[in-house]
Amino acid sequence: MECSWKTIIVLVCASLGIQYTAIRSLTASITSHCPAGHRCKTRHRVNSKYRRLCDDWCNSAHDRKHILILATTRSGSSFLGQLFNQHPAIFYLFEPLYHVQQVFANSSARMRNVVDRRALLGAHRDLLSNLYDCNLNFLENYLKPVPRDHETTVFFRRGASNALCEPPLCHMDQNSKDAIEHLCAKQCKALNLTLASQVCQTRSHMAIKTVRIPEIKDLRLLSEDPRLNLKIIHLVRDPRGILASRMGTFTDNFRAWKIWNATGRRPRSVDLSQIATTCSDLFNSVGTGLSKPPWLRGKYMLVRYEELAREPFKKTAEIYHFVGLDVDNQVKKWILRNTRGTSGAARNYKYTTTRNSTATAESWRLNLSFQIVQTVQHLCNATLIQLGYQLVQSLKELRNVSNSLVESKAFAPFV
């Protein structure tokens, strides 16, 4: 059995490697014969062997938008995701990579040691590629319990996707749009993944939000896939605000931080590595994006959450312009409803997107102790400077929210 178990793992890892080698070889072969971007109009010059593929890919590149929101936990990605979810022509999925992570997290310690980071990222990319192709049945490889007749009741945060809570997938009460996620969880039962795939194909575009890709360089293979014409919206936030939000949301994991914040005494159990890793990933990803590598040309836009929260209409228009779509009236109405909420409403549900967005942007300054802020500034100094967030040198500076810590800094899309 020991030999058999190792053999299976080796075969799985080898299979992943072979898949991606084949994909890259095919991509290189096709792109060497098929013109890209604005040159698609010259299709008649293409080798007849590749003509049909080129025609399909060129049409896809011009018509269908594949959007990826890349972010880290508690950086405002749920809010940004809803700006795409509300568009009637977009099929939106909230964190589908969660299911891959769960399979890995629930596996034995021995298997976690064997399946390395590259294999996990390969699984992530493989799932994303299939989802962008509207193959939601591919998720069945990661759902527990295994779906019967392609139906599942364990689709993570199904209610965060309007398309999965509307006919023909669900016939729930559509009167209260603000409570759609909660109603969907109660009223919509099993999700038929085959039917969901068909619904996906009826939508002109697709958007996926994830906080489970560590760095943007991990998306290179997807970015280079000519069938996708991928548009990456990289959402970032002040790491001090990220930490404050995590402390308020994930109480059990940040209990030591909360004790430190309340008492001023730092417990020995405080784990600094998580926020340090977050800042390192941010710094590396932003550095890659701003260095403008050829594989990101026309595909990368950096967005600071604070600017989106303060001027949601303006920033949403910029994001949609980059993607190549018009802002639908449903999106505008949603922004109006969901950026003028009260702080009390925001506390009722930790993942709510209804709040006073302007007040939320830097509210962490009233909640974090100066000692914790100093610690984060020390750990994340390079990241804060890179992203244009000012440091504070005193408690008075920290609490003076009339002076924003978000510097005026332009991050133009890489086109």
Task: Using the predicted structure, report yes or no on whether residue 254 has a pLDDT greater than 80.
Answer: yes
**pLDDT for position 195:** 97
pLDDT, tens digit (0-9, with 9 covering 90-100), for 349-391? 444 544 556 677 899 999 999 999 999 999 999 999 999 999 9
Question: Which residues partner with 301 through β-bridges?
Answer: 233
Task: Using the predicted structure, report yes or no on whether residue 57 has a pLDDT greater than 70.
Answer: no
pLDDT, tens digit (0-9, with 9 covering 90-100), for 99-136? 998 887 776 565 556 566 778 888 999 999 999 999 99
**pLDDT for position 388:** 97
Task: Using the predicted structure, report yes or no on whether residue 6 has a pLDDT greater than 50.
Answer: no
Lowest mean pLDDT segment, chosen from 8-22, 54-68, 365-379: 8-22
pLDDT confidence band for 179 (50 / 70 / 90): low
Is the model more confident about 335 or about 23?
335
Say if strands 230-236 and 90-94 run parallel, antiparallel, or are unpaired: unpaired
Label residues 285-309 b or e (16+ Cβ within 10 Å = b).
bbebbeeeeeebeebbbbbbbbbbb
Task: Using the predicted structure, report yes or no on whether residue 346 has a pLDDT greater than 70.
Answer: no
Q: In the block, which residue shows the tokens 């991509």?
A: 27
Is the model more confident about 60 or about 265?
265
127 with 101: CB under 8 angstroms?
Answer: no
95 with 212: CB under 8 angstroms?
Answer: yes
Give the mean model confidence (pLDDT) for residues 36-62: 46
Structure tokens at 35: 């013109």
**pLDDT for position 10:** 44
**pLDDT for position 360:** 79
Distance from C-alpha of 70 to C-alpha of 232, rounded to nearest angstrom: 7
Distance from C-alpha of 129 to C-alpha of 224, rounded to nearest angstrom: 12
Which strand ranges, in their side-by-side order, compose the sheet holding 90-94?
90-94, 205-210, 66-70, 230-236, 300-304
**pLDDT for position 176:** 57
Task: Using the predicted structure, report yes or no on whether residue 20 has a pLDDT greater than 80.
Answer: no
**pLDDT for position 16:** 45
**pLDDT for position 103:** 85
Say if strands 300-304 and 191-192 run parallel, antiparallel, or are unpaired: unpaired
pLDDT confidence band for 46 (50 / 70 / 90): very low
pLDDT, tens digit (0-9, with 9 covering 90-100), for 180-231? 777 887 888 899 999 999 999 999 999 999 999 999 999 999 999 988 989 9
**pLDDT for position 51:** 54
Label residues 50-62 b or e (16+ Cβ within 10 Å = b).
beebbeebbeebe
Task: Using the predicted structure, report yes or no on whether residue 47 has a pLDDT greater than 80.
Answer: no
Task: Using the predicted structure, report yes or no on whether residue 137 has a pLDDT greater than 60.
Answer: yes
Task: Using the predicted structure, report yes or no on whether residue 36 has a pLDDT greater than 50.
Answer: no
Task: Using the predicted structure, report yes or no on whether residue 262 has a pLDDT greater than 80.
Answer: yes
Give the mean model confidence (pLDDT) for residues 297-326: 96
Q: What is the CA radius of gyration of the chain?
A: 22
pLDDT, tens digit (0-9, with 9 covering 90-100), for 138-147? 999 999 899 9
SS3 of the chain: CHHHHHHHHHHHHHHHHHHHHHHHHHHHHHHHHCCCHHHHHHHHHCCHHHHHHHHHHHHHHHHCCEEEEECCCCCCHHHHHHHHHCCCCEEEEECCCHHHHHHHHCCCHHHHHHCCHHHHHHHHHHHHHHHHCCCHHHHHHCCCCCCECCEECCCCCHHHCHHHHCCCCCCCCCCCHHHHHHHHHHHCCCEEHHHHHHHHHHCCEEEEEECCCCCHHHHHHHHCCCCCCEEEEEEECCHHHHHHHHHHHCCCCCHHHHHHHHHCCCCCCCCCHHHHHHHHHHHHHHHHHHCCCHHHCCCEEEEEHHHHHHCHHHHHHHHHHHHCCCCCHHHHHHHHHHCECCHHHHHCCCCCCCCEHHHHHCHHHHCCCHHHHHHHHHHCHHHHHHHCECCCCCHHHHHCCCCCCECCCCCCCEC
- With vertex at residue 337, the alpha carbon angle to CA 181 and CA 78, rounded to the nearest 5 degrees, is 45
Distance from C-alpha of 412 to C-alpha of 176, rounded to nearest angstrom: 37
What type of residue is 99? H
- Averaged confidence pLDDT in the chain: 84
Is 148 exposed, middle or buried (CB count within 10 Å of its CB: 0-12, 13-18, 19+)? exposed
Closest Cα to residue 166, out of 139, 149, 187?
Answer: 187
Is the model more confident about 185 or about 43?
185
**pLDDT for position 175:** 61
The number of beta carbons lying within 10 Å of the beta carbon of residue 123 is: 20
Distance from C-alpha of 25 to C-alpha of 21, rounded to nearest angstrom: 6
**pLDDT for position 115:** 62
Structure tokens at 161: 């996707």
pTM for the full predicted model: 0.82
Distance from C-alpha of 374 to C-alpha of 381, rounded to nearest angstrom: 10
Give the mean model confidence (pLDDT) for residues 252-276: 96
